[in-house]
Amino acid sequence: MLEKIEEKGMVQFLRQFDANPFLIRFDGREYPVGEGEPTFVVNFKKAIPVSSLLNSTSLALGEAYMDGDIEIEGNLYNALDHFLGQMGKFSTDTKALKKLILTSTSKKNQEKEVTSHYDIGNDFYKLWLDETMSYSCAYFRHEDDTLYQAQVNKVDYILQKLYLKEGMTLLDIGCGWGFLLMEAAKKYKVKGTGITLSHEQYKEFNRRIQEEGLQDYLNVELMDYRDLPKSGKTFDRVVSVGMVEHVGRDNYQLFIDCVSQVLKQGGLFLLHFISALKEHPGDAWIKKYIFPGGMVPSLREMLSCMAEDNFHTMDVENLRLHYNKTLLCWEKNFKDHIEEERKMFDERFLRMWDLYLSACAATFHNGIIDLHQILASKGVNNDLPMVRWY
């Protein structure tokens, strides 16, 4: 009796997501949602209590998929692409989930959160990232660009926007495995410094510096961005790609303040980040399983913080669909190497990671989130070309 009540409640809850018709199958019974031919089919092995769906729709559905209690017939991304455009209808009890959604922004906790994701293992990331080891939105100049070419394009594009000249100094905040700085050193002969909290990235970037013979041009440090001002260093250019999402809403202004303090007057700052139209606390499932403490800023928040430090915005560009394509490339690579990944992780982790990559691709495609690049100068810079030189 309880199972039938839970089944009925679950179906009733899910019927609100009717923008694109789909079919629910449960123990041989079928429940159509929406009008018309179903765009996908969801097989439930057991009902999800309505209380769980109301507490966090995202957590309830995500964990059910991870546990194998939900199976999608056909392509996971296609199903999510039709479903996640309705995330505005998701329920989240922010009071009950406060500790999960709003975590500490202390240095110690943020290092723990960052390493929990980026220190999973370089061998794992090498399986599904491209040869550049770039873990951020690529730039597909041409329809047939490979993921590798698109990542090279992205770095070239950023470096062009920074208007680099030989002998300049460049800081990369959240440098990852270092490809951007290595390209900057090789192509523009600049002196680069990268900072990261990831021990795995630090180790791999150091190895690559030695391998490429770039010791005279590059160095990498394990450092929190908050320690930059007391480092005593200043730079002609600063770039940050996919890092500010780990800072936390309370620290956006502090982050920009730190950039301002180490950037020379007239210097250029490029910020590349996942963004949202409006401010929101974030998704509970992503925060619990993928990016603890992660927070997506709105574009207006970042622009407002920059204005407080006299940053003059020169250009803003949205690369949302490029991230959709990047994630689909990653998801394909991930599936192509599933047997190797099974030797590293259990089935629940693999289902979680596949869901993460597919769901993120769908949210970018549906405009739930964007990817922005902001180019700004510290103070007025009248020496740059009057037209977009890039």
Give per-residue pLDDT as tens, 266-324.
999 999 999 999 999 899 999 999 999 999 999 999 999 999 999 999 999 999 999 99
Order of strands across the sheet with 29-33?
29-33, 22-26, 41-44, 70-73
Question: What was the pLDDT predicted at 4?
Answer: 79
Question: What was the pLDDT predicted at 5?
Answer: 82
Q: Give 22's contacts (C-beta < 8 A, 6+ positions apart).
A: 32, 33, 34, 38, 39, 40, 41, 42, 79, 82, 83
CB-side neighbour CA atoms (13 Å) of 224: 18
Q: What is the pLDDT of residues 25-38, one digit of tens each?
A: 998 899 999 999 99
Residue linked to tokens 């202004």: 253
Give the Cα separation of 162 and 156 in Å (integer).
10
Question: What was the pLDDT predicted at 102?
Answer: 87
Tell me the two tokens of residue 277.
């139209």
Question: What was the pLDDT predicted at 215?
Answer: 97
Tell me the two tokens of residue 110.
């943020």
Does the pLDDT at position 259 exceed 90?
yes
Please give the backbone phi and psi of residue 192, each rounded to the nearest 5 degrees, phi first: -120, 145
Mean pLDDT of the chain: 96
Q: What is the pLDDT of residues 164-178, one digit of tens each?
A: 999 999 999 999 999
Secondary structure, 3-state, the chain:
CHHHHHHHHHHHHHCCCCCCCEEEEECCEEEEECCCCCCCEEEECCCCCHHHHHHEHHHHHHHHHHCCCEEEECCHHHHHHHHHHHHHHCCECCCCCHHHHCCCCCHHHHHHHHHHHHCCCHHHHHHHCCCCCCCCCCCCCCCCCCHHHHHHHHHHHHHHHCCCCCCCEEEEECCCCCHHHHHHHHHHCCEEEEEECCHHHHHHHHHHHHHHCCCCCEEEEECCHHHCHHHCCCEEEEEEECCHHHCCHHHHHHHHHHHHHHEEEEEEEEEEEEEECCCCCCCHHHHHHCCCCCCCCEHHHHHHHHHHCCEEEEEEEECHHHHHHHHHHHHHHHHHCHHHHHCCCCHHHHHHHHHHHHHHHHHHHCCCCEEEEEEEEECCCCCCCCCCCC
21, 36 Cβ separation under 8 angstroms: yes
Question: What was the pLDDT predicted at 74?
Answer: 87
* Mean predicted confidence (pLDDT) in 367-389: 96
Please give the backbone phi and psi of residue 261, each rounded to the nearest 5 degrees, phi first: -70, -25
94 against 335, higher pLDDT: 335
Give the Cα separation of 323 and 363 in Å (integer).
10
Does the pLDDT at position 210 exceed 60?
yes
Q: Which residues are catalytic, by number?
A: 360
Burial of 324 (0-12, 13-18, 19+ CB in 10 A): buried
Does the pLDDT at position 1 exceed 80?
no
